[in-house]
Amino acid sequence: MSVLRIRIIGDPVLREKGQIITTITDDIIQLARDMIETMHNANGLGLAAHQVGVPKKLIVLNLKDIGVGKKDIVLINPEVVYSEGSDIAEEGCLSIPGLYTKLERPYYVEVEAEELKLSNGKTKKVRIKAEELYARALLHEIDHINGILFVDRLDDIKRRVLLAKWRKEHPEYN
């Protein structure tokens, strides 16, 4: 497994719509393994393939740190099929290191996807019912595979101010 380079805001791949994955290849399995290692190396709760330069509909989540399991999960072509409620909480992103802000998202979501088991390369259809942080993490990563960053969910003025401040404080990413 390898730690991959995480793409930073401004990289065009972060704005691409993800390609649907129709076949599980050895390359997809290796990508998922590398994404998990990269996510853990960066102390992330989740990671989307876009964030490592691959515009495909593939996300990984750290269920242990989210507080809903003991393992990581790999989801292929995840899609939100239901959401309700409202939750405001602080959010950040590995693709905008050091920027955190409160953001409103649905409190509860249901997501359909193919869960990929790395042990055997098999997938199974799943419908995940999630709330609070788990819902937020799913929504955040699904946004990534649709070319959306969490700051895009802020109003225009707040987004501009936060990003200007972030760029000033982090010239290494400009």
What value does the mean pLDDT take over residues 2-20? 97
Q: What is the CATH number of the domain that holds 26?
A: 3.90.45.10
3-state SS track over the chain = CCCCCCCCCCCHHHHCCCECCCCCCHHHHHHHHHHHHHHHHCCCCEEEHHHHCCCECEEEEEHHHHCCCCCEEEEEEEEEEEEECCEEEEEECCCCCCCEEEEEECCEEEEEEEEECCCCCCEEEEEEEEEHHHHHHHHHHHHHHCCCCHHHHCCHHHHHHHHHHHHHHCHHHC
The answer to the question of residue 37 being in a domain is: yes
**Beta pairing partners, 75:** 59, 115
The answer to the question of residue 6 being in a domain is: no
What value does the mean pLDDT take over residues 91-109? 97
Report the alpha-carbon distance of residue 138 to residue 109 in Å, rounded: 8
Domain total of the chain? 1
To the nearest whole percent, how much of the chain has pLDDT over 90?
98
The C-alpha angle with vertex 142 and arms to 141 and 144, in degrees rounded to 5, equals 65
Report the alpha-carbon distance of residue 105 to residue 94 in Å, rounded: 18
What is the per-residue pLDDT for 128? 98
Look up the domain containing 132 and give its range. Answer: 12-84+107-147
pLDDT digits over 58-75, tens only?
Answer: 999 999 999 999 999 999
- Where in the sequence numbering do the catalytic residues fall? 141
The answer to the question of residue 63 being in a domain is: yes
Q: Assign 1 a pLDDT band (cuts: 50, 70, 90).
A: confident
The answer to the question of residue 49 being in a domain is: yes
The answer to the question of residue 141 being in a domain is: yes
**Beta pairing partners, 109:** 83, 130
The answer to the question of residue 96 being in a domain is: no
The answer to the question of residue 94 being in a domain is: no
Q: In what order do the strands lie in the sheet with 58-62?
A: 46-48, 58-62, 72-84, 108-116, 123-131
The answer to the question of residue 21 being in a domain is: yes
**Per-residue pLDDT at 55 exceeds 80:** yes
